[in-house]
Amino acid sequence: MAKFYVNGEAIQFNAAPDTPLLWAIRDHIGLTGTKFGCGMAQCGACTVHVNGEATRSCVTPVSAIEGKRVNTIEGLPDSPVTKAVRAAWLDKDVVQCGYCQPGQIMSATALLAKNPKPTDEQIDEAMSGNLCRCGTYQRIRDAVKTASASLGTKK
Protein backbone atom coordinates (compact mmCIF):
# COMPACT_ATOMS: atom_id res chain seq x y z
CA MET A 1 0.00 0.00 0.00
CA ALA A 2 1.36 3.39 -1.05
CA LYS A 3 0.62 6.66 0.75
CA PHE A 4 0.97 10.02 -0.93
CA TYR A 5 -0.82 13.34 -1.29
CA VAL A 6 -2.80 14.51 -4.29
CA ASN A 7 -3.77 18.18 -4.29
CA GLY A 8 -3.27 18.21 -0.52
CA GLU A 9 -5.42 15.17 0.16
CA ALA A 10 -3.87 12.06 1.71
CA ILE A 11 -4.25 9.02 -0.53
CA GLN A 12 -3.89 5.39 0.48
CA PHE A 13 -3.45 3.38 -2.68
CA ASN A 14 -4.18 -0.31 -2.43
CA ALA A 15 -3.95 -1.55 -6.02
CA ALA A 16 -0.78 -2.89 -7.67
CA PRO A 17 2.25 -0.81 -6.63
CA ASP A 18 3.54 -0.77 -10.22
CA THR A 19 0.38 1.13 -11.24
CA PRO A 20 1.50 4.35 -12.89
CA LEU A 21 0.55 7.49 -11.00
CA LEU A 22 -1.45 8.57 -14.08
CA TRP A 23 -3.92 5.71 -13.68
CA ALA A 24 -4.07 6.12 -9.92
CA ILE A 25 -5.06 9.74 -10.49
CA ARG A 26 -7.51 9.08 -13.31
CA ASP A 27 -9.13 5.75 -12.49
CA HIS A 28 -8.80 5.44 -8.73
CA ILE A 29 -8.93 9.05 -7.49
CA GLY A 30 -11.17 10.12 -10.40
CA LEU A 31 -9.39 13.31 -11.45
CA THR A 32 -9.46 13.34 -15.24
CA GLY A 33 -7.66 16.60 -16.05
CA THR A 34 -4.38 14.67 -16.28
CA LYS A 35 -4.33 13.02 -19.68
CA PHE A 36 -3.12 9.77 -21.21
CA GLY A 37 -1.25 10.27 -24.46
CA CYS A 38 1.54 7.75 -24.91
CA GLY A 39 2.35 5.78 -21.75
CA MET A 40 6.11 6.17 -22.24
CA ALA A 41 6.98 9.76 -21.30
CA GLN A 42 7.07 10.87 -24.93
CA CYS A 43 4.20 13.34 -25.09
CA GLY A 44 3.83 15.09 -21.72
CA ALA A 45 0.01 14.99 -21.64
CA CYS A 46 0.21 13.30 -18.23
CA THR A 47 2.49 15.90 -16.62
CA VAL A 48 1.85 16.57 -12.93
CA HIS A 49 3.96 18.17 -10.21
CA VAL A 50 5.62 15.83 -7.71
CA ASN A 51 7.06 17.93 -4.89
CA GLY A 52 6.90 20.83 -7.36
CA GLU A 53 8.80 19.09 -10.18
CA ALA A 54 7.17 18.51 -13.56
CA THR A 55 6.84 14.72 -13.73
CA ARG A 56 5.46 12.35 -16.36
CA SER A 57 2.90 10.44 -14.35
CA CYS A 58 2.46 7.71 -16.98
CA VAL A 59 5.89 6.22 -16.21
CA THR A 60 5.98 6.99 -12.48
CA PRO A 61 4.79 4.01 -10.44
CA VAL A 62 2.93 4.89 -7.26
CA SER A 63 5.63 3.00 -5.34
CA ALA A 64 8.05 5.77 -6.32
CA ILE A 65 6.05 8.60 -4.81
CA GLU A 66 5.62 7.32 -1.27
CA GLY A 67 5.01 10.30 1.01
CA LYS A 68 5.32 12.83 -1.80
CA ARG A 69 3.07 15.74 -2.74
CA VAL A 70 1.40 15.46 -6.11
CA ASN A 71 -0.39 18.38 -7.74
CA THR A 72 -2.58 17.97 -10.82
CA ILE A 73 -4.16 20.58 -13.09
CA GLU A 74 -7.16 20.59 -10.74
CA GLY A 75 -4.95 21.34 -7.75
CA LEU A 76 -2.44 23.90 -8.90
CA PRO A 77 -1.54 26.21 -6.02
CA ASP A 78 -3.33 29.55 -6.08
CA SER A 79 -0.03 31.30 -6.75
CA PRO A 80 1.02 34.27 -8.90
CA VAL A 81 2.62 31.83 -11.35
CA THR A 82 -0.59 29.81 -11.74
CA LYS A 83 -2.66 32.95 -12.22
CA ALA A 84 -0.19 34.41 -14.70
CA VAL A 85 -0.05 31.23 -16.78
CA ARG A 86 -3.83 30.78 -16.87
CA ALA A 87 -4.35 34.44 -17.79
CA ALA A 88 -1.71 34.28 -20.52
CA TRP A 89 -3.16 31.05 -21.94
CA LEU A 90 -6.56 32.75 -22.25
CA ASP A 91 -5.15 36.04 -23.49
CA LYS A 92 -3.19 34.32 -26.28
CA ASP A 93 -6.14 32.01 -27.06
CA VAL A 94 -3.73 29.08 -26.98
CA VAL A 95 -5.96 26.03 -26.85
CA GLN A 96 -7.37 24.15 -29.80
CA CYS A 97 -8.56 20.64 -29.05
CA GLY A 98 -7.23 21.23 -25.54
CA TYR A 99 -6.27 17.65 -24.75
CA CYS A 100 -2.57 18.32 -24.23
CA GLN A 101 -3.10 21.67 -22.53
CA PRO A 102 -3.23 20.51 -18.88
CA GLY A 103 0.18 18.95 -19.45
CA GLN A 104 1.44 22.08 -21.19
CA ILE A 105 0.26 24.22 -18.29
CA MET A 106 1.86 21.91 -15.71
CA SER A 107 5.17 22.18 -17.57
CA ALA A 108 4.88 25.95 -17.96
CA THR A 109 4.00 26.55 -14.30
CA ALA A 110 6.85 24.30 -13.14
CA LEU A 111 9.24 26.22 -15.38
CA LEU A 112 8.14 29.68 -14.26
CA ALA A 113 8.02 28.75 -10.58
CA LYS A 114 11.73 27.95 -10.79
CA ASN A 115 12.75 30.44 -13.42
CA PRO A 116 10.38 33.39 -13.85
CA LYS A 117 12.53 34.87 -16.61
CA PRO A 118 13.37 32.00 -18.96
CA THR A 119 15.23 32.65 -22.19
CA ASP A 120 13.78 31.47 -25.52
CA GLU A 121 16.09 28.46 -25.36
CA GLN A 122 14.99 27.63 -21.82
CA ILE A 123 11.33 27.84 -22.87
CA ASP A 124 11.99 25.52 -25.79
CA GLU A 125 13.83 23.10 -23.54
CA ALA A 126 11.17 23.04 -20.84
CA MET A 127 8.22 22.80 -23.25
CA SER A 128 9.49 20.49 -26.00
CA GLY A 129 8.60 17.37 -24.04
CA ASN A 130 4.92 18.28 -24.39
CA LEU A 131 3.49 17.33 -27.76
CA CYS A 132 0.57 19.19 -29.27
CA ARG A 133 -0.81 17.69 -32.46
CA CYS A 134 -2.91 20.80 -33.08
CA GLY A 135 0.38 22.68 -33.25
CA THR A 136 -0.38 25.42 -30.71
CA TYR A 137 3.36 25.80 -30.13
CA GLN A 138 3.70 29.39 -31.30
CA ARG A 139 0.95 30.58 -28.99
CA ILE A 140 2.39 28.46 -26.16
CA ARG A 141 5.73 30.23 -26.55
CA ASP A 142 3.96 33.59 -26.63
CA ALA A 143 1.86 32.73 -23.58
CA VAL A 144 4.87 31.61 -21.52
CA LYS A 145 6.59 34.89 -22.38
CA THR A 146 3.48 36.89 -21.53
CA ALA A 147 3.15 35.10 -18.20
CA SER A 148 6.82 35.66 -17.51
CA ALA A 149 6.53 39.37 -18.30
CA SER A 150 3.52 39.78 -16.03
CA LEU A 151 5.36 38.05 -13.18
CA GLY A 152 8.20 40.52 -13.62
CA THR A 153 6.00 43.56 -13.27
CA LYS A 154 4.40 42.35 -10.08
CA LYS A 155 7.70 41.96 -8.25
Partner 1 sequence: MNRRDFLKSSTALSGALVIGFYLPAGGRAFAQAPAKMVYPPNAFLRIAKDNTVTVVVKHLEFGQGVQTSLPMLVCEELECDWTKVKTELAGSNPVYGNVFMGGFQITGGSSSVANSFDQMRLVGAQARTMLIQAAATQWKVKPETLKAENGFVVGGGKKASFGSLADAAMKLPLPEGVKLKEPGQWKLVGKPTRRLDAPDKVDGKTVFGIDVKRPNLHTAVVMHAPVFGAQVKSFNADKVKAIPGVTHVIEITSGVAVLGKGYWAAKTGRDALEIEWDIPPESATLSTERLRADYRAEAKKPNGAVVKAAANADALKGAAKTIVAEYEFPFLAHAAMEPLNCTVEAREGSAEIWAGTQMPSVDQAAAAKVLGLQPAQVKINTMTTGGGFGRRANPNSDWIVDACEIAKAAKVPVKLVWSREDDIRGGYYRPMYVHRAEIGLDAQGNILGWNLDIVGQSILAGTPFESMMVKGGVDATSVEGTADTKYEIPNLAVKLHTVALPVPALWWRSVGHTHTAYVMETLIDEVAAASKQDPVEFRRKLLAKDAKFLAVLNLAAEKSGWGSALPPGRARGVAIVESFGTVCAQVAEVSLENGAPKVHRVTAAIDCGTVVNPLTVEAQVQSAIAYGLGAALYSELTLKQGGVVQSNFHDYRVLRLSDMPRVAVHVVPSGNKPSGVGEPGTPPIAPAVANALAALTGKRARVLPFANEKWA
Q: Which residues bind partner 1 (CB under 8 A)?
A: 15-16, 19-20, 23, 26-28, 30, 32-40, 42-43, 45, 72-74, 86, 89-90, 93-102, 105, 124-125, 127-141
State the nearest-atom distance from the C-beta of 3 to partner 1, in Å.
19
Cα–Cα dist 85/144, whole Å: 7
3-state secondary structure the chain: CEEEEECCEEEEECCCCCCEHHHHHHHHHCCCCCCCCCCCCCCCCCEEEECCEEEEHHHCEHHHHCCCEEECHHHCCCCHHHHHHHHHHHHCCCCCCCCCHHHHHHHHHHHHHHCCCCCHHHHHHHHCCCCCCCCCHHHHHHHHHHHHHHHHHHC
Q: Could you tell me the smallest distance in angstroms from the CB atom of residue 69 to partner 1? A: 18
Taking the complex as a whole, the smallest distance from the CB of residue 59 to partner 1 amounts, in Å, to 12
In the complex, the smallest distance separating the C-beta of residue 28 from partner 1, rounded to whole angstroms, is 7
Choice between 69 and 87, CB closer to partner 1:
87
Residue 68 or residue 130: which is nearer to partner 1 going by CB? Answer: 130
The smaller minimum CB distance to partner 1, of residues 124 and 155, is found at 124
Q: Tell me whether residue 135 or residue 155 sits nearer to partner 1 (CB atom).
A: 135
